[in-house]
């Protein structure tokens, strides 16, 4: 196992005193091999090994190869079972399922743009299929991994709160991801109201850390890839846009807190006010920790592209609801960047 991941798991296990709530439980997770959920899965499996948690994970993944690459250290674990299928197809499982988590979704910017129909369907139909399974199995909890993208354009509200709703053009293909998440949230809310199902929703902002893709167009991965290739970061915009960032372990704690203590029918922002900065400042922090001669430069040739022109000036969140569950961020942005770069560079920084 990578040393950074091992250290993260060690730290999380010393901090969590409530994983026994998942003892003898079976948890079905779509998108279990995704960047965010893989830490969640590894934490529970490692808790089984060290503390006898006896939590079974049904990891529903579309690609066996990707699942094996992400969860390779646990493939022989008797508490892990891979279910390889498209989540848009009905999910069949004979035994009991205590908790369902829908986290399957194309997350990268390029994938969303190239396959907007798939992006929407995986979010909506996948959520519907898992909700039907949860109802059939009388699961005690359903967790939806939604997104900050559901807020749309909230130009009059800089810091997003869970009650905010912004503008979204439903005929704009790039919004397929946001509308897929909105429709999934609506399904969860309606199942809670009409069927009495215990559904909670998490809305992560920008999460980063070990394992983030370097090729899907998101900021942190893009910066790391550029540093690896050319020892510099090229910004297409002026870098003034401000975003909320959260290290992967803090996000994992947030998901557990929402699962354990979140109120049914409610959504919770997964973000931290302390770790916000501009894109330019983020790039400078990455460059400074990468090497003494790494640079941040600006390109004026691509500023009329859709991803630059369509970017909102500020996307920050209010975490008060999440903090009300007992959560708090623990990893500073600089420390998170250092650990992420160590994972990819395999060198002391």
DSSP structure string for 273-285: TTSEEEHHHHHHH
In this prediction, residue 103 has a pLDDT band, given cuts at 50, 70 and 90, of: very high
Q: Please tell me the pTM assigned to this model.
A: 0.94
- The residue count for the chain: 349
pLDDT the model gives residue 306: 55
In this prediction, residue 101 has a pLDDT band, given cuts at 50, 70 and 90, of: very high
- Pairing, β 159-160 against β 141-145: unpaired
Rounded to whole angstroms, how far apart are CA atoms 258 and 252?
10
Across 17-31, 77-91, 153-167, 230-244, least confident range: 153-167
Q: Looking at the predicted structure, is the pLDDT value of residue 348 above 90?
A: no
Question: pLDDT digits over 323-347, tens only?
Answer: 999 999 999 999 999 999 999 986 4
Kindly report the CA angle at 87 between 138 and 78, in degrees rounded to 5?
Answer: 70
- Pairing, β 199-204 against β 99-102: unpaired
Burial class (CB in 10 A: 0-12, 13-18, 19+), 287: buried
As a whole number, mean pLDDT of residues 163-178 equals 89
Across 35-49, 131-145, 205-219, least confident range: 205-219
Rounded to whole angstroms, how far apart are CA atoms 238 and 256?
37
Question: pLDDT digits over 294-321, tens only?
Answer: 999 998 776 555 555 556 788 999 999 9
Rounded to whole angstroms, how far apart are CA atoms 202 and 262?
9
Question: pLDDT digits over 237-275, tens only?
Answer: 889 999 999 999 999 999 999 999 999 999 999 999 998
As a whole number, mean pLDDT of residues 25-30 equals 98
Query: Comparing 200 with 305, which gets the higher pLDDT?
Result: 200
Q: Judge whether 280 and 240 are in contact, CB under 8 Å.
A: yes
Question: pLDDT digits over 265-292, tens only?
Answer: 999 999 999 989 999 999 999 999 999 9
Rounded to whole angstroms, how far apart are CA atoms 174 and 309?
13
- Residue 225's nearest CA partner among 241, 210, 213, 239 is 213
pLDDT the model gives residue 347: 47
CATH numbers and ranges of domains, the chain: 3-208+246-274+315-331 (3.40.50.720)
């Amino acid at each position: 196992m990578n040393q950074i991941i091992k250290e993260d798991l060690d730290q999380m296990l010393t901090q969590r005193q409530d994983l026994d709530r998942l003892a003898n439980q079976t948890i079905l997770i779509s998108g279990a091999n995704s960047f965010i959920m893989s830490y969640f899965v590894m934490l529970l499996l490692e808790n089984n090994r060290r503390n006898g948690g006896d939590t079974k994970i049904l990891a529903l993944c579309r690609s066996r190869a990707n699942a094996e690459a992400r969860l390779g250290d646990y493939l022989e674990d008797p508490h892990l079972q891979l279910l390889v299928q498209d989540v848009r197809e009905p999910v069949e499982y004979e035994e009991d399922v205590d908790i369902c988590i829908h986290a399957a979704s194309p997350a990268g910017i390029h994938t969303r743009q190239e396959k907007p129909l798939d992006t929407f369907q995986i979010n909506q139909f996948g959520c519907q299929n898992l909700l039907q399974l949860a109802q059939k199995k009388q699961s005690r909890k359903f967790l939806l991994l939604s997104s900050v993208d559901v807020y749309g354009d909230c130009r009059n509200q800089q810091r997003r709160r869970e009650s905010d709703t912004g503008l979204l053009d439903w005929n704009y293909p790039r919004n397929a991801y946001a509308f897929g998440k909105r429709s999934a949230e609506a399904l969860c809310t309606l199942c809670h109201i009409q069927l009495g199902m215990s559904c909670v929703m998490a809305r992560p902002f920008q999460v980063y850390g070990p394992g983030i893709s370097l090729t899907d167009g998101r900021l942190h991965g893009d910066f790391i890839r550029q540093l690896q290739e050319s020892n510099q970061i090229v910004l297409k915009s002026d870098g003034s846009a401000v975003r909320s960032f959260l290290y992967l372990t803090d996000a994992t704690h947030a998901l557990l807190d929402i699962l354990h203590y979140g109120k049914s029918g409610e959504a919770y922002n997964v973000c931290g006010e302390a770790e916000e900065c501009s894109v330019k400042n983020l790039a400078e922090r990455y460059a400074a920790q990468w090497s003494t001669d790494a640079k941040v430069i600006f390109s004026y040739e691509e500023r009329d592209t859709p991803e630059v022109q369509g970017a909102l000036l500020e996307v920050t969140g209010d975490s008060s609801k999440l903090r009300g569950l007992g959560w708090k961020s623990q990893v500073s942005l600089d420390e998170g960047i250092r650990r992420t770069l160590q994972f990819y560079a395999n060198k002391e920084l």
